Structure 1
Amino acid sequence: MRVIDSHLHLWNLDVLTYPWLDGALSATYAAEQIDAERLAGVETEAAVFVQADPLEGQSLDEVRWVDATAGATGVVAIVAGARLDRGAETEAHLERLAALDRVVGVRHLLQGEADGFARTAEFIEGARALASRGWTFDACVRAQQIPDVTALAAAVPELPIVLDHLGKPAIGTADAAHEPSAEWLGDLRELASSPQVFCKLSGLPAEAGGNWSAAQVTPFLDAVLDAFGPDRLMWGSDWPVSSVDFTPPEGSEYRTGDRARWFDTVLAWADARRLDADAIFWANACRFYGIR
């Protein structure tokens, strides 16, 4: 079996600064750490690195560091950090990114922006500049912002967009699971009506605070399968964020093996529904990101 992890994070605290890191995440997660999390029984394993939100002025340095360590980490493509609302400054930043061959797309982290931000004229201008380069956009939003991604897809239909983490729905915990909400389901279906939009099967463990079960996440996986179909889904580990348990009273803790646990859960779900595992774990991500 071959697997490309469509959503891998890496960081080295001796190289860059990440103000948002806390608890168990406030440590280096790089080549040595991901090597210990390789998936058993997988013949070919590669990854797409997704920007991890360092200080804004370090986004280009982040790409350079990941590019330099790609041989050791298995990274074959990079989704770089970039603000898309800065006009000429955005254009200049994209031009600098273009000098690095592994860059295939951009993520402007929308989850921290006000609702409606992705509908602004400035952001749409930047999204069009991104599309003109043949690059992709990773949409990391909270559930109530999914309609903003739908509006962006309509405004820039030539831009390939992937919804990170199923749009971060409220899923509860393994002990107090939530069912998919009517609002999330409706917004998801509307977004999926845009054919250039894909969805990552990633991030649900983090949305549960690290306390999750296969039974809990299955209705959400079924919902995105129903909305997007099997040809627009791709597996991602969201490592190391989704490998941290945030529930212990003494503080969060990193759990070795949770990356493989999420992989096994999604693989078992796909097998039970007789889906093409090679598509979900390899081909769809390669097609979306233009990886050959």
Structure 2
Amino acid sequence: MIGCLPTGLPGFAERMRQDGRMRVLDSHLHLWDPEVLTYSWLEGALDWAFAETELIEEQLVGPGEEAAIFVQADPSEGQQLDEVRWVDSIAHATGVVAIVAGARLDRGAETAAHLAALAEHERVIGVRHLLQSEPDGFARRPEFIDGARLVAARGWTFDACVTTHQIPDVTALAAAVPELSIVLDHLGKPVIGTADAPLEPTAEWFGDVRELASSPQVFCKLSGLPAEAGGVWADEQVAPFLDSVADAFGPDRLMWGSDWPVSSIDFSAADGGAYLIGARQRWFRTVADWADTRGLDAEQIFWSNALAFYGIR
């Protein structure tokens, strides 16, 4: 059971048994419960609790060990610390060994105080200011860069969740704060079409990704493409995008993430979409099969790269 996994305490990596079976550290897992916290963006099939019980039903089949990194789920303003406390309370039951907490980085002294409060929770190893909701150029602003430097000074990481046209802003941030470890969420959310009408990677997206990858402290998450496809995808549809980031970043800067439960929703279904049982498993299988056919090291993509990036010991 997931509830039997170790907690996010020092020595986690060493305690995981090595029995020859595949190990998976899901680098991008969401959890929420609308009865605990408020999420103004939830609607349709997403407007339900996705926590311990639901995740146990979606435990991966195949890996010998499974654990996860929780990434903030954008609760209402002022609830970021409450979110960390809640995730801490269910971390053992959900296999969460580390937390990427929500934090606004553009508020000067308020940002510094918030980061200090987050530091009281040992599972916090990074932050995310949701840039996809901000105007273009936001990550280039002096006040944001100051906040990013505070994150780097703590030895924490930054998850960059942006839309495609904002990728150059992340490149600028990486240049401005080279000491900050950054991971690009969801391949930068490229437009990939649908399973019935797939689209090829654009030259603009690939060029921006390649430029971003020239900063050695930047990694990329193999996550989120199912959601970009509307929840239903074909393996051959996503393979060119996976190939592109593998070419840009190299296999030692890629990490798998399920983006559960966002990437487990069929958004084309009526009445706000439908939850797809087993979609998390299918995305795991899609990336594992892709890595195998490309001769890539699954241990890196599904385990060690995420450990190294987030500094989990």
- CA–CA distance in 2 between the matches of 1:192 and 1:140? 15
Other-structure match for 1:13? 34
SS of residue in 1 equivalent to 2:268: coil
Task: Report the TM-score, using the length of structure 2 for normalisation.
Answer: 0.93
- CA–CA distance in 2 between the matches of 1:179 and 1:249? 27
- CA–CA distance in 2 between the matches of 1:141 and 1:251? 23
Other-structure match for 1:100? 121
Q: Which of 79, 87, 92 lines up with 1:58 in the alignment?
A: 79
Deviations 1:70-119 (A, max 9, x none): 00000000000000000000000000000000000000000000000000
Other-structure match for 1:121? 142
**Residues 1:198 and 2:231 are matched in the alignment:** no
- 1:122-271, aligned counterparts within 5 Å? 122-271=143-292
Other-structure match for 1:32? 53
Stretches of structure 1 lacking an aligned partner (at least 5 in a row)? none
SS of residue in 1 equivalent to 2:79: helix
Q: Structure 1 counterpart of 2:298, which letter?
A: A
Deviation at 1:48, TM superposition (A): 0.3
- CA–CA distance in 1 between the matches of 2:50 and 2:87? 12
Q: Is the 2:26–2:67 contact (alpha carbons within 8 Å) kept by the matching residues of 1?
A: yes
- CA–CA distance in 2 between the matches of 1:209 and 1:269? 20
- CA–CA distance in 2 between the matches of 1:68 and 1:75? 10
Query: Does the C-alpha gap of structure 1 residues 15 and 155 become closer, same or farther in structure 2, counting only changes over 3 Å?
Result: same
SS of residue in 2 equivalent to 1:285: helix
Q: Structure 2 counterpart of 1:231, which letter?
A: D
- CA–CA distance in 2 between the matches of 1:56 and 1:223? 36
- CA–CA distance in 2 between the matches of 1:56 and 1:93? 12
- CA–CA distance in 1 between the matches of 2:94 and 2:149? 31
- CA–CA distance in 2 between the matches of 1:268 and 1:68? 35
Deviations 1:109-136 (A, max 9, x none): 0000000000000000000000000000
Other-structure match for 1:84? 105
Deviations 1:23-67 (A, max 9, x none): 000000000000000111211100000000000110100000001
Deviations 1:128-156 (A, max 9, x none): 00000000000000000000000000000
Deviation at 1:192, TM superposition (A): 0.1
- How many residues are treated as equivalent by the alignment? 292
SS of residue in 2 equivalent to 1:63: helix
Stretches of structure 2 lacking an aligned partner (at least 5 in a row)? 1-21
Taking only aligned residues, the RMSD between alpha carbons, in angstroms, comes to 0.6
SS of residue in 2 equivalent to 1:56: coil
Q: Structure 2 counterpart of 1:19, which letter?
A: S
Q: Which of 71, 84, 93 lines up with 2:92 in the alignment?
A: 71
- CA–CA distance in 2 between the matches of 1:213 and 1:41? 21
- CA–CA distance in 1 between the matches of 2:145 and 2:272? 40
Q: Is the 2:44–2:271 contact (alpha carbons within 8 Å) kept by the matching residues of 1?
A: no
SS of residue in 2 equivalent to 1:42: coil
* 4+ runs deviating over 2 angstroms: none
Q: Structure 2 counterpart of 1:179, which letter?
A: E
Moved more, 3-12 or 248-257: 248-257
Q: Structure 1 counterpart of 2:47, which letter?
A: S
SS of residue in 2 equivalent to 1:3: strand
Q: What fraction of aligned residue pairs are identical, expressed as a percent? A: 73
Other-structure match for 1:48? 69
- CA–CA distance in 2 between the matches of 1:250 and 1:73? 29
Deviation at 1:250, TM superposition (A): 4.3
